[in-house]
Structure 1
Amino acid sequence: MKNILFYSPYMGYTGSEMMVKYIVSNANKINPVILSGENGALLNEIPKNISTYIHPNSIIWKYRLGRILKILKLHDLAQMQFKKIIKKHNIELIVINTLVADKIIPLIKKFNKPFVLYVHELPMMYDLNGIKKEKLNYLINNSKGIIGCSDKVCESINLMGGKNVYKFYETIDINKIKQSEFDTVKIKSQLNNFSHIFTMSGQRAYHKGFHIVIEISKFLKKYNAALVWLGASNDYGLNFFIQKVIENNSIDNIILPGLLKGDEYYSWLNACDAFLLTSMVDPYPLVMLEAAYLQKPIIAFDSGGVTEFVKEGMGKIVPYYCVN
């Protein structure tokens, strides 16, 4: 079996990093090891028999150990750790998950290890994620193979001159949904003032379409319908702006339950009449698969991989920003 190191930048609850969890948790022909750029919550859900490491330049290392180790003149912690991982686990190949891979590139160059790239981004995200052209050029041209999470992603990689490009659609663990204890009746009783419930799940971010929730709510108000957005709050200006508009204008048909997990998350998702994908750009959203498994109609902007998934009878895809 091949010994493979998976590098992922955050190991948080994003679709791309959920895929790392699914792959390593179900792998039976490889020996996986994980190196994360940050101490993400998803690391706690990795099976205990799989070794996990946190990059020394993460926040937790900087504040707890960084100063002490600098005093001891152990400056290049990343190289020390990487060398130890390579040797201890006899790593043969590295899988770089997403293009947001700033911390791993110098180590790959230093130790000259072969790598493959698992890409979840469409070109619009390159700028939004701060992906520099030098790093993008290095990753595309030096990878032994490139995996795209949808046809749209593979097409963009091929246009850049990528070689050995393969498609591997993102997936979900349906057992997690099957085993959930839905409390849909309770959720619907909280929302019984509305005729229909439309639900979106994702980061409260611009590229996810959070900036148009006010406009959507105005349209839904005509039909006494509500928008539920499942996703964590944050400290950025857009989130603050939307929350203040809701408060100052007494908007009651935008419901923001926050970041939910497990039974509670699936109960809210199952309580909706339809799933609303508001993303400006989304390569192949996992929440779309979850909604489909729950047999919810999907209404989406033409934002990427959704066009490869939603077929006739499953919902409707409309041009971006066509709220009506």
Structure 2
Amino acid sequence: NQVWKDLKYQVTSRAGFKGAIFMSLFKDIRPIVHLTALFAKVAKEYREAGLLRVIEAIKMYFSMPLTDIQNIQHFDAGRETILIVGHEASRTGAPVLTYNLIRGFETRYNIFVLLLHGGPLMEAYRNVSASVFLVKNTYPMLLKLFLRQLCSRYNIKFAIVNSIESRMVLPALAYHFVPTICLIHEFAARKQSQRAFHEVFLWAGIVVFSTRLTMEKAYNAHAALKNCNAHVLPQGRCLVPVENNSQTEVDQEKTRIRRLVRPEYMDENSVIILGAGSVCFRKGIDLFIQCAERVIRRPGGEKCRFVWIGEGYDPGADSNYSFYLADQIQRSGIDDFVCFIGETATIEAAYEETDLFLLSSRLDPLPNVAIDAMALGKPVLCFDKTTGIADFMMESGLGEHCVACYLDTADMAAKILILAGSKPLREQIGRQCRESSKTFFRMEKYIEQLDNIALKLCDRMRQEKMDVKTILDTGIYRQDFSALPYSEKLTKEESIRRYVRAWASGMGRRKPYPGFHPGIYKEQRGLEIQVPDPLADFLRSGQPDGPWNYPVLNTDNSETTDLPVNERVALHLHVYYPDLLPQITERLMENQIRPDLFVSVTHKKSLEYADNILKNYDGRIVDTTIAPNRGRDIGPLITAFGQKIIDGYDFVGHIHTKKTADIKNETVIRIWFRFLLENLLGGTTCPMADRILTKMHHDATIGMVFPDDPNAIGWDENRVIAENLASRLEIHHLPENFIFPVGTMFWARTAALAPLVDLHLDWSDYPGEPLPYDGSLLHAIERLLPFIVSSGDKFRNVTTNICGVTR
């Protein structure tokens, strides 16, 4: 505490420090010190060198001016204003598209441009927009502050966030109800991209992919996107801003490029094959070289020259990719046929000297260089399944000559040789490329489509704003239940905003309070997919009764005077992770009930450990067994003990040592396990096992009791398996939205579970390990449990909730 007091005094008293910014953030930052890179650095500096180094670290983040929004140039008060966000202003694909977006929208709106990093195109942006804001600090809270200032002074009609790399502005824009379109050009190829895609789909009003290929890749890579909608719009041809050079300098550069691409010594019948882009693995320059080698070794290939234009080829300094490319060329013996040229602003001169354009990328959505080459009548060749250009070629009838099999350099070399050997064919294919691309890649059409999407989105954002106010005004939203326990600290209004956005986007949907499922309400009432919010509609409709409401058992009035006798209550413990067993037994002992224990393990050592932990249990241990490692916790319950429990007991609990190998964040698992135990056994709150069993003993209609999980989870990949099993159980209707014991822990009336035990599932019926994260018989049974309980209209399901305990 004293360190923080010293920091506040020392840092904020220094000249040039943005004290107002720091003080406004301080109360939010302190509780999350352990979560942020900034304060990890602060803590490290303090340990190593004391307070003065800490002050400098803090100043580095908070003394920088955000940006100046006072002096706006070329602003027309009679026009509406939009915001275009870019991650940088380099001469690469997305920043060049940003420039063309500005040019396309400038005749309709005032344009503000927000850049997270600078670059050589900044001056070009300024020439065609009202103002360019370069945010020198992308710390999320500072971005939030800046956008709050901007939105409070100007009415931003909508925002276009170009590239997933610009996603950090999306939450702040959403909190201010700015309709936002996020343009995605990147492939979801990396595992670490999962969080990025989740953030984009949650916070953007609409997600627009540039190609079907990139969209499918994202959906295939991230199952959580399955409920999310997106558009596919190919961008138009982009114009690259001309550098601010004299005409003489431009002419000199063009001459230089022409001589490098097609040297004067070359025969007039020589064929130039051009490739372009930053030198990196994704661009497939090694494939480009391999194609060159195959072509040059074949008859007619000796007249071909392969030229690559782009930054990053430096074998002397780059010991990674560039070094190996140079080695590949040297060992292939094709040094005289392959040339690298650095980035240039006059690439049109290279196109003019080119006969064929080879797009060798492994993954490349819609590269501008390929679109430009086609617009200039150059045949473009590419690999199938690597780029949206391949789809375009196929749809345009150019696949035979222009699309090679996936990364098949032999097939590509054959196509190059056919075109290189026939000038009339090259000219014919070039004309087809030009005419087809002229119709397909039209920037005017792209701008019009984006504008139409944005205008429709404006209505949705107005509805979302109204929905947030409706929910906030009623006070019905339970932040302690609905908000993620490990997320950033939010105000109640911000938490509701996130909740509404989740249901509108389909990403990370959660329940607003115990006992209400928005998805069931939405499905049963036939609401539109995205608006209005189901909870807001429920409130405006007078909170009607229906299956969306369900009973909740909590710690209020926790009478435990009518417990069933111990001998009629069984508890199955599946102990796969023995180290977690003490947590279960400690909580169980806080209750009066002493159920008969049925214990299953999968190893002898685990059995010995469990016996040692349970030796002081003052109830009966009826059976312990080493079960096959099949069926996880469900198999032992049904196959090993099921019939004995059904025949001898009225109630059964099912608890297992919860860990999930597929979830790498140990904090998430720890919180989930605590949530389940707190709800089913109790501990820090009240003896929940006693509370549940008293209620079940008193109310014969209760068939199963399980925690009310805040996540609105559905069938996921388990529907087909569940339908097959449901037919055996004579369950005929499975709605899309429902509640179930997420994590497969519960208390149940044995009569309600009898139909499942009566299936007589054998160990061989269960899938072997390792199980997939989703989509197995066990996941299907987990979801079918409440339907099994209620199938005969004799029993109902009840959930539990502990105030302040969530996951």
- Indicate the SS of the match to 2:156: coil
Question: How much has 1:245 moved relative to structure 2?
Answer: 4.8
User: Are the aligned partners of 1:140 and 1:162 in contact in 2 as well (CA < 8 Å)?
Assistant: no
Cα distance change on mapping 1:165 and 1:110 into 2, 3 Å? closer
Q: Point out the more displaced range, 209-218 or 287-296.
A: 209-218
| In 2: Cα distance, 1:215 partner to 1:238 partner | 15
Deviation at 1:112, TM superposition (A): 5.7
TM-score, scaled relative to structure 2: 0.34
Which of 8, 21, 36 is the equivalent residue of 2:99? 21
After superposition, give the CA deviation of every residue in 1:195-249 in whole Å (9 maximum; x if it has no partner).
3211011111111102334322322322122211110126652123323554686
Question: Paired residue for 2:326?
Answer: 243
Change (3 A) 1:313 1:134: closer
Q: How far does the alpha carbon of each residue in 1:24-64 deviate from its partner, in whole angstroms, 9 at most, with x for none? A: 11212232211112112222221424311122237xxx9xx
Query: Distance in 2 between the 1:317 and 1:269 partners?
Result: 20
Report the equivalent of 1:317: 403
Aligned partner of 2:388 in structure 1 is 305
2:121 matched residue in structure 1: 42
**What is aligned with 1:165?**
230
Of residues 103-112 and 215-224 in structure 1, the stretch that sits farther from structure 2 once superposed is 103-112
Provide the rounded CA distance (Å) in 2 between the counterparts of 1:204 and 1:185: 21
Secondary structure in 1 matching 2:274:
strand
**Cα displacement (A) at 1:267:** 0.9
1:89 and 1:244 map into 2 onto residues whose CA distance is 56
1:261 maps to which residue? 345
Asked if structure 2 preserves the Cα contact closer than 8 Å seen for 1:157 and 1:165, the reply is no
Contact (CA 8 Å) 1:283, 1:304: kept in 2 or not? yes
**1:136 matched residue in structure 2:** 197
**Aligned CA distance change for structure 1 residues 241 and 144 (closer, same or farther; 3 Å):** same
Q: How many residues align?
A: 302
1:283 to 365, 376, 379: 365
Unaligned runs of 5+ in 2: 1-78, 243-249, 411-807
2:295 aligns with one of 201, 215, 220 = 220
- Residue type at the aligned position of 1:135: A
User: Deviation at 1:168?
Assistant: 2.2
State the distance in 2 between where 1:250 and 1:322 align. Answer: 20
- Listed one character per residue, the Cα deviations across residues 62-97 of structure 1 (whole Å, up to 9, x for unaligned) are 9xxxxxxxxxxxx96434433333334432433221
Normalized per residue, which structure has more helix? 2
For the residues of structure 2 that align with 1:269 and 1:16, how far apart are their CA atoms?
Answer: 21
Matched, 1:11 2:97: no
Look up the equivalent residue of 2:388 and give its one-letter code.
Answer: G
Instruction: Read off the aligned partner of 1:21 and give its amino acid letter.
Output: Y
Deviations along 1:258-310, whole A, 9 cap, x unmatched? 10113xx1111221110000001111121111111111111111112012322
2:275 counterpart of 1:200: yes
Q: Higher relative contact order at CA 8 Å, sep ≥6: structure 1 or structure 2?
A: 1
How far apart are 1:22 and its partner, in Å?
Answer: 0.6
Q: Which has the higher strand share?
A: 1
Q: Is the 8 A contact 1:144 1:164 kept in 2?
A: no
**Contact 1:141–1:162 (Cα < 8 Å) also in 2:** no
Return closer, same or farther for 1:106/1:240 CA change in 2, 3 Å cut-off: farther
**CA deviation after TM superposition for structure 1 residue 158, in Å:** 6.1
The alignment partner of 1:252 has SS state of helix
Offset from partner CA, 1:111-151 (integer Å, 9 cap, x none): 56442211112322x45xx52x2332121133211112123
- Cα 1:13–1:230 shift into 2, 3 Å: same
Cα distance in 1 for residues equivalent to 2:238 and 2:361? 23
Query: 1: CA distance between counterparts of 2:233 and 2:337?
Result: 38
Per the alignment, in what secondary structure is the counterpart of residue 101 of structure 1? helix
Residue of structure 2 in register with 1:85 after alignment: 150
1:150 is matched with 211
Unaligned runs of 5+ in 1: 63-74
Amino acid at match of 1:319: C
Paired residue secondary structure (1:46): helix
Separation in 2, partners of 1:30, 1:146: 21
Distance 2:283 2:387 in 1: 12
Partners of 2:327 and 2:342 in 1: how far apart?
A: 16
1:211 paired with 2:297, answer no
Contact 1:205 1:211 in 2 (8 A): no
Whether contact under 8 Å (2:200, 2:207) holds in the other structure is no
Which of 309, 320, 323 matches 1:230?
309
Distance in 2 between residues matched to 1:30 and 1:280, nearest whole Å: 38
Contact 1:278 1:300 in 2 (8 A): yes
Q: Structure 1 residues 251 and 94, CA, compared in 2 at 3 Å: closer, same or farther? A: same
The within-5 A match list for 1:116-131 is 116-124=181-189, 126-127=190-191, 130-131=192-193
In terms of mean alpha carbon deviation, does 146-155 or 156-165 score higher? 156-165
Structure 2: distance between partners of 1:30 and 1:166: 23
Letter of the 1:189 partner, please give it: P
* Cα distance in 1 for residues equivalent to 2:398 and 2:196: 42
Give deviations 1:126-183, integer Å, cap 9, x for gaps.
45xx52x233212113321111212323444566336452232122246989xx9775
Counterpart amino acid of residue 273 in structure 1: D
